[in-house]
Amino acid sequence: MKKLLYLFTASLLVFTSCSKDDNDSSNSTTSVLPKKVTFIESDGTSYSEDNVYNGNKIVSITGKDYVIKYTYVGDFITKLEEFDENNVLDFTTEYIYTNGKLASSTRKETGAPSYSKIKFVHNTDGTVSYEDFRINSSTNAEDDGPYVGKFTFKDGNLVRNEYSYYGDEHLITYDYDTKSNPLKNVTGINLLLDIDPSQSYVNNVIKKTRISGSGTDIQTSMTTSVYEYDANNYATKEVTTYQSGSSVSTEMTTYAY
């Protein structure tokens, strides 16, 4: 999928967690779900995603040239399948849980010689440690991947992601509003750890700060978002500004429920 429930990639490493079990879904708005999401990029290009649900379980998301299909076992999302515009399977992601918490996420590209597996450890202090591995598709031999890191959560939201990428140190911090994230009522989404937090937490990200490097070689970039909300305090419009050095760009996302 392109953005709404975007899967783990080497450039993102931003996740959700079982720490989001704090999500309160006992109110009268638990059936609020985004049916259509429209993205307008900085150059004016736009595209939409149409979401289909069975109750509060996500069944599929359809974009201009892709379809994502979801498989559940009980209330757990166990598999995602990504198809291209010709209905050819491109990627499969499988999720394994232990004691109701995500233990691993395995993402395979059809026909690729290797695939990625992320293992998660839920620490006693509420943080989640993770490590990325590369698996040989033919032999199942396992090698260390480029990522190792740790997440810190507060009030059901990811607030800190510190990780090493091929030995280079990175830190991402997140600030949130107090309103409802469009996806907070999707069954099982709060257990996944490979979802973009701007789309899948309890609240909405209003600022993301990334710091990379160390010593005198430190680079900082910032993303800020401003929202409009409906009468139930769910985000209906998001205007996001990306700033890195002197480069600034703005994109917009709208949500129809």
**pLDDT per residue rounded down to tens, the chain (257 residues):** 444 554 433 334 443 333 444 444 344 688 999 999 999 999 999 999 999 999 999 999 999 999 999 999 999 999 999 999 999 999 999 999 999 999 999 999 999 999 999 999 999 999 999 999 999 999 999 999 999 999 999 998 999 999 999 889 999 999 999 999 999 999 999 889 886 655 557 999 999 999 998 777 889 999 999 999 999 999 999 999 999 888 899 999 999 99
Cα distance between residue 62 and residue 52, in whole Å: 9
pLDDT at 77: 97
pLDDT at 65: 95
Report which residue type is found at 23: N
Q: Which residues contact 202 (CB under 8 A, 6 or more apart)?
A: 20, 22, 23, 155, 156, 157, 176, 180, 181, 184, 190
pLDDT at 216: 75
Contact 133, 147 (CB under 8 A): no
DSSP conformation class of 202: S
Q: Where are the domains of the chain?
A: 18-256
Q: Which CATH number fits domain 18-256: 2.40.160.150, 1.10.8.60, 2.60.40.3880, 2.30.110.10?
A: 2.40.160.150
Q: Which residues contact 193 (CB under 8 A, 6 or more apart)?
A: 15, 16, 17, 102, 105, 118, 120, 128, 130, 151
Q: Pairing mode, if any, of strands 142-154 and 157-165? A: antiparallel
